[in-house]
Structure 1
Amino acid sequence: MRRILIAVATAFLLAGCATAQRKDALTSTLNTYAATLRWGSFQSALQFVDPKVLQTNPPSSLDMARYQQMRVSDYDDGAGPVAVTDNEVQQVVQLHLINIHTQSERTVIDRQTWRYDEEKKRWWLTSGLPDVTHD
């Protein structure tokens, strides 16, 4: 009986550790993605997009040209991510974009979906890069 209790307690502890690691990985990924958009580029942000999404729906050269015209002046993730399942979260981000040619600013709402990859132990953006052509 004692062995069973120890086994059950160990299973709960390991599950708790896995959940904490997943949550820490999510926080790190979301912070790095936000910083990449703020200080880097949309081209660099492609490294966060799920490879399966990129394979089936890659951004066009026109999309990438549009991204090159934009700079993020503010990235507001509001309430942060909301868990849909253990391996999926969603968050709504308000992006303030400045067109580098006209210096005009506008706001775009980016509805993000992130999926945890158990095998690679990382989070992937499955919703793709934000659509900067719509307000």
Structure 2
Amino acid sequence: MNVVLLRSLSLSLAVLLLCACGHFLTPKEQRREKALVLATDSYRKNMRWGNFEEAAGYLRAKEGEISGPNMESFSHYKITGYYTNEQQRNDAGDEVRVVAHIEYYELDTGVARTLRDDQYWWYDEASQRWYLGSRMPELDKH
């Protein structure tokens, strides 16, 4: 009876250890994950503090072209909050959908608004860098 129990426990432990191994990231995946955190955090800070030219440096289409933002239109607004609360990765881990909520107001009128910014980020293996493959938010359209 004790032998059967010991075998069952050993088998359960082996299965548990094998399942746990699936949650560890390879060194390559760790570098890519760290680069994503750095890129999205830098983009968030640049947007939040009005450094729109620097934020636009992350723009790059994976295929085709992305029209650049109207930098002059950003000068009419002040961003007061920028929050990301949702990320969805593809299976390969080289594309991520990020949902950001941006709080801002128009300088001339003081009218405060909030918008949801659905972002598409993709990883370029050659440059080992994440790029924003979707447009920057158009604050004047909301």
TM tier relative to shorter chain: 0.7 to 0.9
Which of 29-38 and 81-90 deviates more?
Answer: 81-90
Q: Return the offset for 1:68.
A: 1.6
The answer as to 2:73 corresponding to 1:66 is yes
- Contact 2:119/2:132 (8 A) holds in 1: yes
Query: Aligned to 1:59, what secondary structure does the other structure show?
Result: coil
2:51 to 41, 50, 75: 41
- Contact 2:94/2:123 (8 A) holds in 1: yes
Task: Tell me what 1:120 maps to.
Answer: 127
1:30 to 40, 47, 54: 40
Query: Aligned to 2:34, what secondary structure does the other structure show?
Result: helix
Task: Tell me what 1:92 maps to.
Answer: 99
Larger radius of gyration: 2
- Contact 1:73/1:98 (8 A) holds in 2: yes
Q: 1:90 to 1:30 in 2, by over 3 A?
A: same
Comparing both structures, which one devotes a greater share of its residues to helix? 1
Identify unmatched segments of 5+ residues in structure 2.
1-24
Give % identity.
25
Number of matched residues? 117
Query: In the aligned structure 2, how far is the partner of 1:132 from the partner of 1:46?
Result: 15
Normalised TM-score (structure 2): 0.73
Q: Return the offset for 1:132.
A: 1.8
Normalised TM-score (structure 1): 0.77
Query: Aligned to 1:78, what secondary structure does the other structure show?
Result: strand
Query: Aligned to 2:134, what secondary structure does the other structure show?
Result: coil
